[in-house]
Amino acid sequence: MSETMAELSLTLSERHTADFEMIGNGGFAPLTGFQGSADWERVCAEMRTADGEYWPIPITLATDLDCSVGDVVELSSDEGKKLGRITVEEIFERDVKREAEQVYGTTEDAHPGVAAIYEEGSRCIAGPIEVESLPDHEDAFMRRYLTPEESRKAFAERGWKRVVAFQTRNPIHRAHEYLTKAALETCDGLFIHPLIGKTKAGDIPADVRMRCYEVLMDNYYPQDRVILGVNPSKMHYAGPREAVLHAIVRRNYGCTHFIVGRDHAGVGDYYGTYDAQKIFDELDLAELGIEPLKFEHSFWCNECEGMASGKTCPHDSSAHVFLSGTKVREMLGNGERPPQEFSRNEVADILIDAYKED
């Protein structure tokens, strides 16, 4: 960051750059800027903005920039691109321990979301932003980039009334394919909307995931009933609360339904397997503006001879094809394809090649 007599400027972190983009492109509506203390307080305590609208995770701009209320600060992305500016309406101190406890359910810095807010610090500036441009992304992402306004238009052009969104930060394996197609049975269209912002170390790179999505779309989904977009937001790993944020974002993109599966947006053992589904039972879905579709863990069953879940399969786990993430990574690293019952060969080949490049 730098400061001159004529102009205050701030280079945003990668995480704050993603937040700027989501505010600027409309994905974080109703937010029009970085949140202040009143919003922070109520979001942490009640999952609502100061104005009373559902919002589950504070979107704040933590910085030690020497500035005052009323200042206009020029903002650049983490890569140095000029994005716009923020008018400082408030400077405040957030209680990061309290935010960790209320939003993430833990104060342990082993949790990646908690570690991130601890690293950012407590001092925040708040105020509306003006957008001149959005951050740059790789070509593979930009050709799939849709703003909320553009996705709504795309759905309308196709005559879709019921649109289901699928959030993912991983390649789509057979289990994901099964539940997206099950949801598509009752909806007009499917919006595959992978997150391309910052994830934690060890997650599969976004460009590799994009190739996996595209090969599946080309071979296993009806072309006229599915759209692949990209979500430039970052991961918080906030489990239940992040599931609500993901739903709100997809509502803003024009979706009417949202798939919530096992351990949605979770990490480690911090959340129960279906906590991200249960949280929606506490919300007024009409007010939220989007309906969750809750799916149990799905798998290939050798006895059923097909994909199934605990709701549809009567057989015990000995008949189920299940591989841990560790086992899958081990196989891919050795150039071995996981069983076709777990992953399509085309997807496995892309992942094997990516592991070779590493």
For residue 5, pLDDT beyond 50? no
Supply the DSSP symbol for 195. Answer: B
Residue 27 contacts by C-beta under 8 Å, 6 or more apart in sequence? 21, 147, 148, 231, 232, 233, 249, 252, 253
Any idea how long the chain is? 358
Does the annotation count 170 as an active-site position?
Answer: yes
pLDDT of residue 2: 43
pLDDT of residue 358: 64
Of 170, 262, 329, 337, the catalytic one is 170
pLDDT digits (tens, 9 = 90+) for 146-196: 999 999 999 999 999 999 999 987 888 999 999 999 999 999 999 999 998
DSSP collapsed to 3 states, 133-179: CCCCCCHHHHCCCCCHHHHHHHHHHCCCCCEEEECCCCCCCHHHHHH
Residue 331 contacts by C-beta under 8 Å, 6 or more apart in sequence? 323, 337, 338
Does the annotation count 169 as an active-site position?
Answer: yes
Q: For 263-292, what is the mean pLDDT?
A: 96
Q: What average pLDDT is seen over the chain? A: 93
Rounded-to-integer distance, Cα 262 and Cα 349, Å:
26
For residue 273, pLDDT beyond 90? yes
**Residue in this structure with the two tokens 């006895």, named with its chain if needed:** 303
**Residue in this structure with the two tokens 């992978």, named with its chain if needed:** 194
Strand, coil or helix: 12: coil
pLDDT digits (tens, 9 = 90+) for 187-241: 999 999 999 876 666 667 778 888 999 999 999 999 999 999 999 999 999 999 9
Distance of CA 10 to the CA centre of its chain: 25
pLDDT confidence of 6, banded at 50, 70, 90? very low
For residue 316, pLDDT beyond 70? yes
**Domains within the chain, CATH numbers bracketed:** 2-131 (3.10.400.10), 139-300 (3.40.50.620)
Cis omega (within 30 of 0) for bond into 338: no
